[in-house]
Amino acid sequence: MKKLIECVPNFSEGNDMNIIKQITNEIESVEGVRLIDVDPGKATNRTVVTMVGTPDEVCEAAFRAVKKAAELIDMSKHSGAHPRFGATDVCPLVPVANISMEETVEYAHKLAKRIGEEAGVPVYCYESAARTPERKNLAVCRAGEYEAVKDRIGTEQWKPDFGPAEFTPAVAKSGVTAVGARNFLIAY
């Protein structure tokens, strides 16, 4: 029985289809991952992407997409109607078949560590993957949005779980990302 997870990254670009396509191309470049939906929103300036596949492959596709988004999206120039604090604002993993939430959390932590170390993007773990109780709630992690990152990132309370803990020029561009493990979410 094959293990399946879903990943629903939200990218802080909802208008430039060229940027969105470059990000989704990264996802489609990973064999064993199926890109199910790409939903850009002009007013929110945000695109919600849904992919599904085996855990290692989904995490590889998510990593590539997060890295590409950090290269292409400049958060210092971003505005939109939806709360956000990074080029990839959130990147939740959702257990779909033959995998427990505990296993999904392990994958979320591995993905978060890789994003922090290899892509240089600060990461907060949230929901079931939260490493501290106060970070379980995404709204708490994202309080003040991108504009608050500069002041929060260097504090002991808001030091990222993975990645740089200072507001470098690269972090000013990419912002930060929240990686989580959660159950299905219906947004309306």
Catalytic residues: 82
Length of the chain in terms of residues written? 188
Query: DSSP string of 147-184?
Result: HHHHHHTTSSTT--SBS--S--HHHHHHB-EEEEE---
Distance, CA of 68 to CA of 62 (rounded, Å)? 10
> In this structure, what are the phi and psi dihedrals at residue 187, rounded to the nearest 5 degrees?
-100, 140
| Residues 153, 168 contacting (CB under 8 angstroms) | no
Q: Which of 176, 180, 178 is nearest to 129 (CA)?
A: 180
Helix (H, G, I), strand (E, B) or coil at 98: coil
Distance, CA of 37 to CA of 183 (rounded, Å)? 18
